[in-house]
Amino acid sequence: MPSLLTRRHVIAGIAGAAGLAGTAGVVAVAANRNTPKLVDPHSEAIHRAELARQRPGAATVRATLTPRPVTLDLGGVTVDTWGYAEDAPAPLIRAKAGDRLRVDVVNELPVDTSVHWHGIALRNDMDGVPGVTQDPIGAGGRFTYDFTAPHPGTYFYHPHSGVQLDRALYGVLIVDDPNDAGRYDQEWIVVLDDWVDGTGHTPDDVLAALGDGTAGMHGGHDTPGMDHGGMPMDDGNMESMTSPLLGGAGDVDYPHYLINGRVPAAPVTLTAQPRQRVRIRLVNAASDTAFRVALGEHQLTVTHSDGFPVVPDVTDALVVGMGERVDVEVVVADGVFPLVAVAEGKTGQALAVVRTGGGSPPSAEVRAAELDRRVILTNQLRAADNVRLPQREPDRTHDLVLGGGMMPYRWTINGKTFTDAEPLLVGEGERVRLRMINQSMMFHPMHVHGHTFALGDGGARKDTVIVTPHQTVTVDLDADNPGQWMTHCHNIYHAETGMMINLAYQL
């Protein structure tokens, strides 16, 4: 198949693999060398934790999701894909903190699927990980997710099956704070995505090409100056797949980048009145792309990261990694402004149009000067006082050495691919420290299911954090939600080829 990959990353990957050789054998030593007994996702402990979350008088929010083959119009680009609706993203699900969600999933796909509630500290048996917390939902099958959503914030849902996330199978879940009406006049939900499905390759084709090393190489040979068969792979493109902020910025050079399911040539329009205060909920549902986001002629006040409040930070632009959600506030000026999400380190961008007054719409290639001013990563944010994790010495520390590369295409934690990696054992009630040590050439947005960790001392509460090449990020969490919790890179191709490990409560 023609290539979506850049040769530069094949090379970078080899260097990464060489680096890995030096770390093979660095495996977190389990506290208990004998086979530990793990908390079963369907046991009494999970039921007890759920009861503690339930509130008297809580409402039940019901929804139905029907994953199925759909044809989507991305704005002049029509694609056959899989979605939950005739649109991407799927319809919003909205609840109040403490509400119970009951979501019926009716699988009309030709394959197994599942739904994971990304960022929610829910009961383990509803976490949606086939083979760990439930059986896969087979083709033609049904499953009802039924859980309490304890914490307010911006979340999303997607399959935890193969690389299905890289299709249109994603939607936003907002949990409102019943005690906080919000200080804003308008709310815009902005979902970022990288898109390939239905353009000649499926995400499974991409995965296969990555795995057999033929992607970018036309039959396994990738020599400089060879004919790339008219694919969008020139030297400029190759160079552009690294980012000064992220290092190796991705493995897949996507044909399209989307905001709310639209290509930049036919963007969505977000409206408000001049001088209104708008809350923008940014969700990065992409599979291999971080986005640098800015709103032309405005600064953004970051208020929440992964659902939890932060000390407000005023910035010109910010980078949102895959799986991250960031809420920003902005007082909008009068006119028409581009909301630009540049594929960080890649060629291309997503666009939405902000309209509060007269003016002609921006072009698809519009840039915003703010993109090159103050740019922050969310790991620079500080937790708001009311969500700071109380200080406590860790009861145990686990290292997660992030390794791997492009040749072979294999991504590892502690030198192993899932499910070979030794689980990260924890005990209920413990303070657990995770040290994520990136020894690869790529950035990895590392996500922990079922918990919200704290970044260092007083850092933001998050469930997904970018770890850049050769960086170590240390996070602490309270082990207060028993079960078996996937901890993985939210680059879906990295996760699918091994970069996942089990944060395992033991009995």
Dihedral sign computed on CA atoms, order 125, 128, 134, 137: positive
Q: How far is the CB of 312 from ligand C2O (least distance, A)?
A: 26
Who's near 335: CB < 8 A, 6+ residues apart?
Answer: 274, 297, 356, 357, 358, 359
CB of 491 to ligand C2O, least distance (A): 11
Cβ atoms of 446 and 436 within 8 Å: the answer is yes
Q: Which is nearer to Cu ion, 16 or 128 (CB)?
A: 16
**144 is written with which tokens?**
């009802």
3-state secondary structure of 455: strand
Residue 491 interacts with, from Cu ion, ligand C2O, none (CB under 5-8 Å by kind): Cu ion
**Smaller CB separation from Cu ion, 210 or 489:** 489
Token duo for residue 72: 């989507």
- Per CB under 5 A, the segment of 98-106, 329-337, 442-450, 472-480 that binds Cu ion is 442-450
Cis bond leading into 89, ω under 30°? yes
Stretch that binds ligand C2O, among 331-339, 355-363, 366-374, 484-492 (CB under 6 A): 484-492
Half-sphere exposure (CA, 13 Å, Cβ side) for 189? 18
Binding partner at 489 among ligand C2O, Cu ion, none, C-beta below 5 to 8 Å by kind:
Cu ion
Is there binding between residue 447 and ligand C2O (CB under 6 A)? yes
Give the count of residues interacting with Cu ion (CB under 5 A): 4
User: By CB under 6 A, is residue 323 in contact with ligand C2O?
Assistant: yes
Residue 315 structure tokens: 């910035």
Q: How far is CA 359 from CA 333, 334, 353, in A?
A: 12, 10, 11
- For the window 141-180, what string marks contact with ligand C2O as x by the rule CB under 6 A? -----------------x-x--------------------
Structure tokens at 98: 């403490």
CB within 8 Å of 307: residues ≥ 6 apart: 119, 151, 152, 153, 154, 155, 175, 325, 452, 463
Using CA atoms, how far apart are residues 101 and 89, in angstroms rounded to an integer?
19
Dihedral Cα 171, 413, 417, 8, nearest 10 deg: 80
Which listed option, ligand C2O, Cu ion, none, makes contact with residue 262 (CB within 5 to 8 Å by class)? none
* Spatial separation of the C-alpha atoms in residues 83 and 80, rounded to whole Å: 9
- Residue 421 interacts with ligand C2O (CB under 6 A)? no
Residue 494 interacts with Cu ion (CB under 5 A)? yes
Restricted to residues 473-492, the positions that interact with Cu ion (CB under 5 A) are 489, 491
Pick the binder of Cu ion from 151, 444, 447, 461 (CB under 5 A): 444
**CA-CA distance, 342 to 350, in Å (whole number)?**
6
From residue 107 to residue 146, what is the string marking binding to ligand C2O with x (rule CB under 6 A)?
Answer: ---------x-x----------------------------
Which of ligand C2O, Cu ion, none has residue 120 at its interface (CB below 5 to 8 Å by kind)? none
Report in angstroms how near the CB of residue 436 gets to ligand C2O at its nearest. 15
The reply on whether position 488 binds ligand C2O by CB under 6 A is yes
**Which of Cu ion, ligand C2O, none does 447 bind, CB closer than 5 to 8 A by kind?**
ligand C2O
* Binding interface with Cu ion (CB under 5 A): 444, 489, 491, 494
* Binding interface with ligand C2O (CB under 6 A): 116, 118, 158, 160, 323, 447, 449, 486, 488, 490
